[in-house]
Structure 1
Amino acid sequence: MSESEISEQDLHGKLQPTVPLLKHQHEDEDELVGGGGGGSDEKAQATRMRHADLKESSNDPHGHRPHRGHAGHLSPIPTNPALPSPDFITKTKSTPHRSLIINRQTLPFNWQTLLGGGLMLFALLTALICVALSRPDRLGLVKAYVQDAGLDSWIQSERTIARQRIGRNIGPILGAGEGLIVASPSWGQYQDEPDYYYTWTRDAALTISTLLADFLPAPYLTPWNFAPQKYNMSEGDVRLEPLLREYVNGQSSLQVVQNPSGNLFSGGLSEPKFHVDGTAFTGAWGRPQRRDGPALRALALIPYAHYLLDRAWPTDITFVLKHLWDPHRLREQGSVIKNDLEEVGGSWSKSGFDLWEELNGYHLFTLLVSYRALQAGGILARRLNDTGAADYYISQSKTLATYLPDFLTPEYWTANLPSDHIFTNKSTTGTPAKSPEKRSPEVKSRGYFPLRRDRTGLDCAFLLSLIHAGGDILPVSAPESLETVWKYVKSFDGIYQINQGPWTNGWAVGRYAEDVYNGVGIGQGNPWFICTFSTAQVLYSAQSDFHSQGSIQVSNTTVDVWADILGVPSATLNHTAIWKAGSSDGMFDRATKALIAVGDAYMDVGKKYAVGGRMKEEIDRHDGHEVGARDLTWSYASFLSAARARDLARSIITNPTKR
């Protein structure tokens, strides 16, 4: 394959230094149309916006458009005049074939014709070879690609690639606004790619939270348990701080954009996505989406606010008060964190769409990240002497916590409850548990999906809940959590052709087994990189939790889980055993090492299917080629998050004193 350099200038110096990368599908088109690698070309940007407008106007009568998990009627794809013509390779001055040009005036006519035909054939073959190398999935070449490096080496190199690809999805690259994080450079210009050329509040916040770990010490990363720290200037990658400032400024502007969900004071903060230039997306979508966007954004920025307060430079204090939190007002532009917390505190009890933007109801992920945001917000509010806000957020978080047990069924944690669910909490404070909204007809009448079988509630969203908001209220090592993860993974048994052997060998897993979104439209659901890496991360985190506890309690709930992980019949395990660290039977060490081994098997799935280190949204269930939105920012962020959890788990094995 040909190689291209991604320069540090392309990344604005925000992430990692230069390394060579393999050429990937459509990358040249990004440069031409999106202004990648530099600023925004106005003419190309206008072409892109006209294309987006054309797509919106050519949708089905209900206005529904294909998007993440919402596969409606596919729009015709117009010809893009900004893209290179088929003979581009023979016309460009940089073509390597210029040395073959001969003065044909000196040749007889028949030789001239023959030479001309030969050159055309040569150019055609060259073009086909270039397509084959840049689009291996189109020509069935994925299986021929071999990742030679071992898992450790691959993870190390993939960290650099992931950070670089994230950097290339942050404005002003790709024509996006400064500091706005683009979900994917795919904007629907090809029939096998969806239009993800937007900035999602959710995706952007999760990406920033992932990158924070490269900048801030560990105590800042769980702001719901935070205590003021002694500032250490030597810690962290300071190159990320300009990115954080740009992100804050970009979100501050988005918060005041009037949109279909409302404005700063009337629900607009829960609008899921915007155009990359910061204007409102007004097309049909899964609305209302409540709280998870603003909650995740607050959780991404509260750690930075604490860091600035600990560093305590005068300009840091000013930045917090002018851009993150105004103790004297409820909502106003320039108070990004407090605006979000006011939105979460006032609407958390209302139903809305899930993080996949498909089901209207109550969702464990949404409520759990809202709970953590309110907890963390209360701590920061007290630190800023905003006592009224602190009391309100803490009170709301305590009420919200009483709603969470309803998601625990007799068999597992379910990810979703219907919008007419009446919660069983006995709280007399806070907002009433029952939503006034009627139960959503869900997929049957919204026009996104045809009728499909019911959802079990086993969902990757539960794993994401553990990763981004678990801890004491939902420990990953709890028997019910382990059982839910186990049942979630096993729900894909026999569904995806690319998976072989038992689940402990490492399977590619998707959002949920009943999924019918194939990355572009209606079809058969596929595995996602996000969910596969999240499975690995949950297993690594369970290992770390067990080491912190110093023991593992086996129960009837988890005996089958442990039997699979250890590769033994469940009948050979004591259903009430307690495996203690350092015990002579060695079961504790055997079990925790097995958790890492199984987690590595899931990381290896990513290694197998991420061609050249590049990640789309999904992995084809039949042959493993990548499908859907390319260079998905969230895919790269999920990899980085899982790799970091692996580092911690492995460090505990080699240095038990870290327990």
Structure 2
Amino acid sequence: MSVITDLDRWIERQYRIAARNMQLAISATSTVKARPGFGQSITPKRGSVVASPVPASYDPDPDYFFHWYRDSAVVIDALRHVENEAAVTHFCDFVDFSLELNALRGADLTEHAGWRDRVAEDFRQFVREEADLAGLVVRGETRVNPDGSIDISRWNRPQYDGIAARVLTVLRWASGRSFGGRHDDAVARLLDEDIRFVLAHWREPSYDIWEEEKAHHYYTLRIEAAALEEGAAWLAGQGDGEMARRARTDAAEIQGRLHHFWEPEQGFYRSRLTEDGKATPKDLDIAVILAAIHAGGSLPTHSPHDARMEATLDRLDAIFEEDYAINHGRAEGRGIALGRYRGDEYYSGGAYYFSTLAAAEFCYLRAAALKVEDATAAARLKARGDGYLEVIRAFTPEHGEMSEQFDRMTGEHTSAKHLAWSYAGFLTAVTARKRA
């Protein structure tokens, strides 16, 4: 007989809160975001997903009222675990909005003379040049406005993980399910366009998921490999055997490249390979663990089945246990609050909800993979995952709100409020816990 613990009771309550709060970011059509410095007034369209539904302007919270390709894919993927009719409607709207985004062109903006005139003089330094807009590849954008318009601000581009993540999300939603004629056609069209985009661009360097450094990144390549492998099966089912073979071949090539990210002497997967091959302080990065859980699958390498992934998580535990005051003298049974990488200076440079939840989810997925062959190891991993959830429990207020970070010294919430990815990470971690 299983024993219901305080953690179990808290999870049950927080799950309902997280599911409700996450959906506030989807189709947030009743919220208008004004950016007077940029001459903009943004009203989200149905199917858009804002990273945070709280309008902010770095006052002090960041302006996250954008539709990030990766964040939106993560949120819509987590939405599969919310059992209501609204979830299916949200997914269909997301597909329609995504197809609309695929049709965007830089010329759509440059042809509308006068938009620059609406930008305040002291904001023009933050606006993109005409040449950048003319060469725009919209699916290589990091983010767009949730009203379906191009982001005019200077930002680090391109970023290629988002479209691959969208392929995986749509495939998972569509598996064995019909949404009706028009929506089934829309799903097929979106998958075909996005898989072809991944095939065309995966060899190119891009910015990492933190939008900070251009290189070849473990997370991006791992997600692209999964998108092409699973996309190949879908293409074959559509009767496109030639494209399926190409996707499968490229997926295998990416898997081969991923082996070069392992650092045997240091015992972890590097998060990036720069052009000069030199190590950076960001090499040990939670992005590697996020890659394992977002890509999924049961491969013996580069998945929760991979012991080297667990070794990478061990190293991350060690640096954040040392660096963060909130990890010192912690209560019995509580795990390590995790950030992104050592030396992070964004806002408090503190612990992230989605980082700590990713560690929990990884442990649960690995426990599920090992429970037949090694029940002792599986039980240890399940307990380790619960330790990470105890961290989340400790730093989540009674009303259940989850921000982006909690301060490394005090545990106070920092950065964006109501971060949709934080709620999504909680939903998927708890779902993985049930499997473990």
TM value normalised by structure 1: 0.56
2:185 is equivalent to residue 316 of structure 1: no
What's the offset of the Cα at 1:604?
1.3
- Aligned residue in 1 for 2:113: none
2:341 is equivalent to residue 512 of structure 1: yes
What one-letter code is carried by the residue in structure 2 that aligns with 1:324? V
5 Å-filtered alignment, 1:88-237, equals 150-171=6-27, 172-174=29-31, 175-189=43-57, 191-214=59-82, 237=84
2:360 is equivalent to residue 536 of structure 1: yes
For the 8 Å contact 1:466–1:538, the answer to whether it is kept is yes
Cα distance 1:454–1:393, how it changes in 2: closer, same or farther (>3 A)?
closer
2:431 is equivalent to residue 607 of structure 1: no
Pick from 304, 327, 333 the counterpart of residue 476 of structure 1: 304
Distance across 2 between alignment mates of 1:604 and 1:264: 49
Partner SS for 1:399: helix
Q: Which runs of 5+ in 2 are unaligned?
A: 32-42, 107-127
Distance across 1 between alignment mates of 2:270 and 2:280: 13
Distance across 2 between alignment mates of 1:266 and 1:387: 31
List per-residue Cα deviations over 1:308-363 (Å, max 9, x = no partner). 4xx5xxx7355333x123xxxxxxxxx21111111110110110100111111011
What's the offset of the Cα at 1:405?
0.7
Over the aligned positions, Cα root-mean-square deviation in angstroms equals: 2.4
For the 8 Å contact 2:293–2:303, the answer to whether it is kept is no
- Aligned residue in 2 for 1:495: 323
- Aligned residue in 1 for 2:159: 289
- Aligned residue in 2 for 1:381: 235
Cα distance 1:506–1:338, how it changes in 2: closer, same or farther (>3 A)?
same
- Aligned residue in 1 for 2:247: 393
For the 8 Å contact 2:370–2:378, the answer to whether it is kept is yes
Larger radius of gyration: 1
Higher RCO, Cα 8 Å, sep 6+:
2
- Aligned residue in 2 for 1:302: 171
Distance across 2 between alignment mates of 1:199 and 1:456: 26
Distance across 2 between alignment mates of 1:193 and 1:515: 17
2:310 is equivalent to residue 486 of structure 1: no
Distance across 2 between alignment mates of 1:190 and 1:269: 26
What's the offset of the Cα at 1:643?
0.7
Cα distance 1:494–1:414, how it changes in 2: closer, same or farther (>3 A)?
same
TM value normalised by structure 2: 0.84
- Aligned residue in 1 for 2:369: 545
Distance across 2 between alignment mates of 1:463 and 1:401: 16
Distance across 1 between alignment mates of 2:78 and 2:63: 24
Distance across 2 between alignment mates of 1:483 and 1:515: 21
- Aligned residue in 2 for 1:82: none
Partner SS for 2:320: coil
For the 8 Å contact 1:413–1:480, the answer to whether it is kept is yes
What's the offset of the Cα at 1:625?
0.9
Pick from 587, 594, 598 the counterpart of residue 384 of structure 2: 598
Pick from 278, 285, 288 the counterpart of residue 148 of structure 2: 278
Distance across 1 between alignment mates of 2:319 and 2:56: 31
What's the offset of the Cα at 1:484?
0.8
For the 8 Å contact 2:105–2:137, the answer to whether it is kept is no
List per-residue Cα deviations over 1:526-564 (Å, max 9, x = no partner). 10000011111111112111114x13xxxxxxxxxxxxx
Distance across 1 between alignment mates of 2:73 and 2:133: 19
Cα distance 1:283–1:264, how it changes in 2: closer, same or farther (>3 A)?
closer
- Aligned residue in 2 for 1:646: 433
Distance across 1 between alignment mates of 2:270 and 2:425: 22
Pick from 506, 526, 532 the counterpart of residue 350 of structure 2: 526
List per-residue Cα deviations over 1:278-305 (Å, max 9, x = no partner). 1110211111212x11101111112333
Pick from 211, 214, 217 the counterpart of residue 357 of structure 1: 211
Cα distance 1:504–1:515, how it changes in 2: closer, same or farther (>3 A)?
farther
For the 8 Å contact 1:170–1:176, the answer to whether it is kept is no
What's the offset of the Cα at 1:504?
6.8
Distance across 2 between alignment mates of 1:275 and 1:456: 29
- Aligned residue in 2 for 1:268: 138
What's the offset of the Cα at 1:214?
4.2
- Aligned residue in 1 for 2:122: none
Distance across 1 between alignment mates of 2:81 and 2:53: 25
Partner SS for 1:302: helix
Cα distance 1:504–1:595, how it changes in 2: closer, same or farther (>3 A)?
farther
Cα distance 1:239–1:288, how it changes in 2: closer, same or farther (>3 A)?
closer
What one-letter code is carried by the residue in structure 1 that aligns with 2:249? S
What's the offset of the Cα at 1:212?
1.8
What's the offset of the Cα at 1:466?
1.1
Q: Which has the higher helix share?
A: 2
Pick from 259, 269, 287 the counterpart of residue 413 of structure 1: 269
List per-residue Cα deviations over 1:204-239 (Å, max 9, x = no partner). 001111122446xxxxxxxxxxxxxxxxxxxxx444
5 Å-filtered alignment, 1:631-642, equals 631-642=418-429
What's the offset of the Cα at 1:373?
0.6
Cα distance 1:295–1:609, how it changes in 2: closer, same or farther (>3 A)?
same
What's the offset of the Cα at 1:266?
6.8
What one-letter code is carried by the residue in structure 2 that aligns with 1:607? R
2:256 is equivalent to residue 402 of structure 1: yes
For the 8 Å contact 1:500–1:507, the answer to whether it is kept is no
For the 8 Å contact 2:339–2:349, the answer to whether it is kept is yes
Q: Which runs of 5+ in 1 are unaligned?
A: 1-148, 216-236, 326-334, 422-438, 440-452, 519-523, 552-580, 582-587, 650-659
For the 8 Å contact 1:477–1:542, the answer to whether it is kept is yes
What's the offset of the Cα at 1:192?
2.4
Aligned residues: 391
- Aligned residue in 1 for 2:38: none
For the 8 Å contact 2:24–2:53, the answer to whether it is kept is no
Partner SS for 2:248: helix
List per-residue Cα deviations over 1:105-136 (Å, max 9, x = no partner). xxxxxxxxxxxxxxxxxxxxxxxxxxxxxxxx
Cα distance 1:456–1:272, how it changes in 2: closer, same or farther (>3 A)?
closer
For the 8 Å contact 2:158–2:207, the answer to whether it is kept is yes
5 Å-filtered alignment, 1:337-352, equals 337-352=191-206
What's the offset of the Cα at 1:187?
3.3
For the 8 Å contact 2:140–2:157, the answer to whether it is kept is no
Partner SS for 2:273: strand
What one-letter code is carried by the residue in structure 1 that aligns with 2:284? L
For the 8 Å contact 1:306–1:380, the answer to whether it is kept is no
Cα distance 1:283–1:378, how it changes in 2: closer, same or farther (>3 A)?
same
What one-letter code is carried by the residue in structure 2 that aligns with 1:388? E
Distance across 2 between alignment mates of 1:190 and 1:318: 41
What one-letter code is carried by the residue in structure 1 that aligns with 2:389? M
